[in-house]
Amino acid sequence: MIDGEEAMSGEGGRNGRSWTGRRVFVTGATGIVGSWLVRRLLDEGAVVVALVYDWDPQTELIRSGDIERTHVVNGGLEDFGAVERAVNLHETDTVFHLGAQTLVGTANRNPLPTFEANIRGTYHLLEVCRMHRDLVKSVVVASSDKAYGDAEVLPYLEDMPLHGKHPYDVSKSCADLLAGTYAHTYDLPITVARCGNIYGGGDLNWSRIVPGTIRSVLEGKAPVLRSDGTFTRDYVYVLDVVDAYLELAERAEDDGVRGEAFNFSAGDPVSVLEITLAIQRLMGREDLEPVILNRARGEIKDQHLDSTKARERLGWSGGYTLDVGLRETIEWYKQFLREAVVPG
């Protein structure tokens, strides 16, 4: 929902199992979700191993100093040796696979690197977990609503086919299916999270609507929409996603969770124009008229997830309304842009 001030603590359905001393491997650790997930794990006493491909000092993991509390393995998901070293050398018992090339436009312009990172990278990671199943007791694979592709009937349900058509969507469909293969063929404790559009502080992909709009408004410029503004999405706050991932990891070996995929969303899809106007309202700049380019290509028009399964089996429910999540996000970017020299 857009309106409303109430927000829960963000604890969702967490069952309180301790992370103290658990050895956790996080791919995609410098991304928006990875950065906040690593912080939560460190704060709860876990030993965290982070796979880092490019060193970008502006990412939240690095600029916050949290990376100094982790064990860093340098390399990409395409490097099987780096992934195997992270699990074997550091004796990892829990794996969060968040690493991916996540930009639709980037994938459309040059699909091969996206396929390499998202597909090859996923089967590398899962094969390492199979090889070291004596160590690995829990695996969470971050999928996406994009894995479903276009659907005539919404919302998406977990038992719907995965029918990605465009490069990024196909890469997520494949990664999702690979996770199912390793869960069911090799009986590995794997779960899959399919989330809507994730927003929050730490997203430095300025082509995305939330960070791009916030930066434009802070600069006194009109927000720019690539689409016609009518595309609808579920938007889910990053801290709600962190809770969802932790819940899955804690319960990966439970009946009804092991080998299953779960949708996570706020359950209230809004259009691109609506979320743009919501950001402007919260920032007090409704005078800026959005520029609508209507140039979006290779993107699914409407997406909406049903999270009933996550509520019933995991006790998870998003703790943040859109207004509250956006307010926290806006404050993060205000501080970040005051402190950083940001490349365009």
Q: Which of 148, 168, 182, 320 is catalytic?
A: 168
- State the sign of the Cα–Cα–Cα–Cα dihedral 263, 265, 267, 273: negative
Active site residue 168: yes
Three-state secondary structure readout of 307-329: CHHHHHHHCCCCCECHHHHHHHH
- Ramachandran area for residue 63 (φ above 0: left; ψ -120 to 50: alpha; else beta): alpha
Could you tell me the end-to-end alpha-carbon distance of the chain, in angstroms, rounded to an integer?
A: 31
Cα dist. 224→26, 55, 108, 205, 266 in Å?
Answer: 33, 29, 20, 14, 25
Q: Coil, helix or strand for 303?
A: coil
**Mind giving me the DSSP string for 17-38?**
---TT-EEEEETTTSHHHHHHH
Whether 100 contacts 76, CB under 8 Å = no
Strand 138-142 to 94-97 pairing: parallel
Residues labelled catalytic: 168
